[in-house]
Amino acid sequence: MELPDKLKYTESHEWIADNGDGTVTVGITAVAAEQLGDLVYVELPQVGAKVTRGTNCAVVESTKAAAEVYAPLSGEVVASNEDLSATPGQVNEAPYGKGWLFKIKLSDRGELDKLLARDAYAKSAGV
pLDDT tens string for the chain (127 positions)? 678 989 999 999 999 999 999 999 999 999 999 999 999 999 999 999 999 999 999 999 999 899 999 999 999 999 999 999 999 999 999 999 999 999 999 999 999 999 999 999 999 998 8
Q: Where are the domains of the chain?
A: 8-108
Q: Report the DSSP beta bridge partners of residue 43.
A: 59
- The domain defined by 8-108 folds into OB fold (Dihydrolipoamide Acetyltransferase, E2P) (2.40.50)
What global pTM score does this model have? 0.96
